[in-house]
Amino acid sequence: MHIEVRHAPSFSAARIQLGPNEGIRAESGAMAAHSTTVDVEAKAEGGVFKSLKRATVGGESLFVTTYTAGPSGGWVDVAPNLPGDIKVVELTGNALALTKGSWLCNGTDVAIETKWGGWKNLVGGEGGFLIRAEGSGPVVLSSYGAVDRLELADGEEVVVDSGHVVAFDPNLGMTLSKVAKGWMNTAKSGEGFVFRFTGPGWVMTQTRNPGALIEWLTEVLPFSRS
């Protein structure tokens, strides 16, 4: 399997070149195009219960689409809903933690599951559940805006707004708190909740916040004032 990211970083799309009988699993609606040598199957991956949990609390689609190449191979183009970048993380028997909406597709030897992230995450408005990818193979991530990757040394800390987190090393220490002390100071700052990560490990961030976009559209669109 070979993955080529094109049109980065503003309007990225990924072309996945598949070998004979090779496949990928993708977010429902992520496919932009595919060769005629690829078979398509959509189903509730992992059973109905896991799919419902992934959709309702993980922010991902109920159905996962599997694209499988025939004996001659093939290709699939995938693209996210929002303009931004695409990054490919190669897993080698390890795991990856994702925030909702950042998963685009992955190899068939990678398992995607919604995991409980703790009550503090629930308070943060990003959902108490995180997406966990585990196994061997590529995981394709999408962002709103460009992606930065922060490498944290042992004991090093960084604070990231909850809406700007894309993915992170699950071995990082992680807590979630208000951006300022006291509810009044938090309201005055115009910010909500932040993640505090402690190394060693890495975290990917996005330069735009999808939640902020939704709030802005709600305020300015005509139907929001009716």
How do residues 3-14 score in pLDDT, each as one tens digit? 999 999 999 999
Map tokens 């597709």 to a residue.
105
221 pLDDT tier (thresholds 50, 70, 90): confident
How do residues 111-165 score in pLDDT, each as one tens digit? 988 876 554 444 334 444 678 999 999 999 999 999 999 999 999 999 999 899 9
Q: Which helix (H) or strand (E) holds 125?
A: none
User: Does the reported pTM lie above 0.75?
Assistant: yes
pLDDT at 215: 85
d(CA 103, CA 79): 11
Percent of the chain with pLDDT over 70: 77
d(CA 4, CA 215): 33
Please count the CA atoms within 13 angstroms of the CA of 159 that sit on its side-chain side.
Answer: 9
Q: Which of 67-76, 151-160, 191-200 has the lowest mean pLDDT?
A: 191-200
Is pLDDT of 183 > 70? no
Is pLDDT of 26 > 90? yes
Q: What is the average per-residue pLDDT within 180-195?
A: 55
For the chain, domains (ranges, CATH) are 2-219 (3.60.160.10)
Q: DSSP code of 100?
A: T
Q: Is the Cβ–Cβ distance between 162 and 192 less than 8 Å?
A: yes
Percent of the chain with pLDDT over 90: 60
Q: Which residue has the higher pLDDT, 51 or 162?
A: 162
Q: What is the average per-residue pLDDT within 178-200?
A: 65
Q: What is the average per-residue pLDDT within 79-100?
A: 94
Is pLDDT of 210 > 50? yes
Q: Is the Cβ–Cβ distance between 98 and 110 less than 8 Å?
A: no
d(CA 35, CA 202): 36
* Strand partners of residue 175: 196
d(CA 132, CA 100): 10
